[in-house]
């Protein structure tokens, strides 16, 4: 019997727009705390209804972006590579993520101090390859370092549009050999890498990409994504996925949506190593 999918989330008790580190953030555009809590719980409950076991990290005052657990680090089997945030305002999050990972039995790996790396926000497995975004947050050198440490193939792709500053805002693996992407977030080279290496690569239109539709959480054949992408939802249903649109407007104010609010702890179905793990369990 395979185990339930496991996801780490952090409640939005201290969430808000307190600084501006991406083009979506504007301190004048305050979040509504009640709406943030409702929207966060709707995502939490939709995941739980899919059979996901949710782990929660305790929120910390003064760390408003701690809710974005995709940026905690990168999970590979039992290894947890802790993020090294580019911006000082987020650097205080790393010790909390690290402590959580150690307490939950992960082997924590620290990267050399001169490198920046923002976890599953910028590094996503599709098949056995780790696709890795660099420039705005993570360094290409960090991705190379991870490839050597984990012994996996890493394909770094440059992000060229500051609105899509993390890879998970413009690229989303669906299954081994299948992914969503917004072409405008990559340069010619990046686009050709993705096209050459991913058999079924679904293009998301600019209009739907700006509503964070690539920032989707995939659990088995279910896709949870921000509302505002009816065309993409139709395409996904056409290839056998069910879709759940969610209202995540409060989190978009910080430049995040469904995927950013989650960290898959047992490996997404798109990651070939997660199946190896499942086989080893029973
Ligand atoms: N305000 C956060 C930041 O700019 C949002 C992080 C979104 N996370 C993500 N995985 N895309 O760092």
Contact 30, 64 (CB under 8 A): no
As a dihedral over the C-alpha atoms of residue 102, residue 107, residue 112, residue 118, rounded to 10 degrees, the angle is -70
Pocket test for ligand 1, best of 17, 71, 122, 163 (most atoms within 8 A of CB): 71
Q: How far is the CA of 19 from the centre of ligand 1 (A)?
A: 12
pLDDT in tens, the chain (282 residues): 468 999 999 999 999 999 999 999 999 999 999 999 999 999 999 999 999 999 999 999 999 999 999 999 999 999 999 999 999 999 999 999 999 999 999 999 999 999 999 999 999 999 999 999 999 999 999 999 999 999 999 999 999 999 999 999 999 999 999 999 999 999 999 999 999 999 999 999 999 999 999 999 999 999 999 999 999 999 999 999 999 999 999 999 999 999 999 999 999 999 999 987 665 654
How do beta strands 171-175 and 178-181 pair?
Answer: antiparallel
Which domains does the chain carry?
6-274 (3.75.10.10)
Q: What is the DSSP string of 6-69?
A: EEEE---TT----S--STT--TTS---HHHHHHHHHHHHHHHHHTTPEEEEPPP-TT-GGGG-G
So which residues are the catalytic ones?
166, 260
Question: pTM for this structure?
Answer: 0.97
How far is residue 82's CA from residue 80's CA, in Å, rounded to a whole number?
6
- Residues within 6 Å of ligand 1 by CB: 21-22, 25, 65, 68, 70-71, 90, 121, 166, 168-169, 254-256, 260
| Three-state secondary-structure class, residue 32 | coil
In the three-class reduction of DSSP (H, G, I as helix; E, B as strand; rest coil), residue 262 is classed as coil
Which atom in ligand 1 lies closest to the alpha carbon of residue 87? 12
In angstroms, the CA 131 to CA 236 distance is 21
Nearest CA to ligand 1 atom 9: 260
Please tell me the distance from the alpha carbon of residue 212 to that of residue 259, in angstroms, as a whole number.
9
Q: How far is the CA of 234 from the centre of ligand 1 (A)?
A: 27
Half-sphere exposure of 202 (CA within 13 A, CB side): 22
Centroid of ligand 1 to alpha carbon of 166 (angstroms): 7
């Amino acid at each position: 019997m395979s185990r339930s999918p496991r996801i780490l989330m952090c409640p939005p008790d201290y969430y808000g727009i307190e600084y501006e580190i991406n083009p979506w953030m504007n301190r004048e555009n305050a979040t509504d705390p009640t709406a943030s809590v409702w929207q966060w719980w709707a995502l939490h409950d939709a995941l739980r209804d899919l059979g996901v076991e949710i782990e929660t990290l305790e929120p910390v005052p003064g760390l408003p972006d701690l809710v974005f657990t995709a940026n905690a680090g990168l999970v590979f089997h039992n290894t947890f590579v802790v993020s090294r945030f580019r911006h000082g305002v987020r650097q205080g999050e790393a010790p909390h993520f690290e402590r959580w990972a150690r307490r939950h039995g992960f082997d924590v790996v620290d990267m050399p101090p001169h490198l920046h790396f923002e976890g599953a926000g910028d590094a996503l497995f599709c098949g056995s390859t780790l696709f890795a975004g660099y420039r705005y947050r993570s360094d290409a050198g960090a991705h190379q370092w991870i490839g050597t440490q984990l012994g996996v193939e890493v394909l770094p792709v440059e992000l060229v549009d500051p609105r899509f500053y993390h890879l998970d805002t413009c690229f989303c693996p669906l299954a081994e050999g299948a992914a969503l992407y917004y072409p405008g977030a990559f340069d010619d080279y990046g686009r050709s890498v993705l096209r050459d290496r991913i058999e079924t690569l679904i293009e998301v239109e600019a209009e739907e990409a700006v509503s964070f539709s690539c920032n989707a959480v995939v659990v088995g054949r279910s896709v949870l994504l921000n509302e505002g992408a009816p065309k993409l939802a139709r395409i996904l249903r056409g290839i056998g996925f069910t879709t759940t649109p969610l209202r995540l407007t409060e989190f978009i104010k910080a430049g995040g949506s469904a995927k950013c609010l989650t960290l898959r702890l047992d490996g997404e179905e798109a990651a070939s190593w997660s199946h190896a793990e499942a086989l080893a369990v029973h």
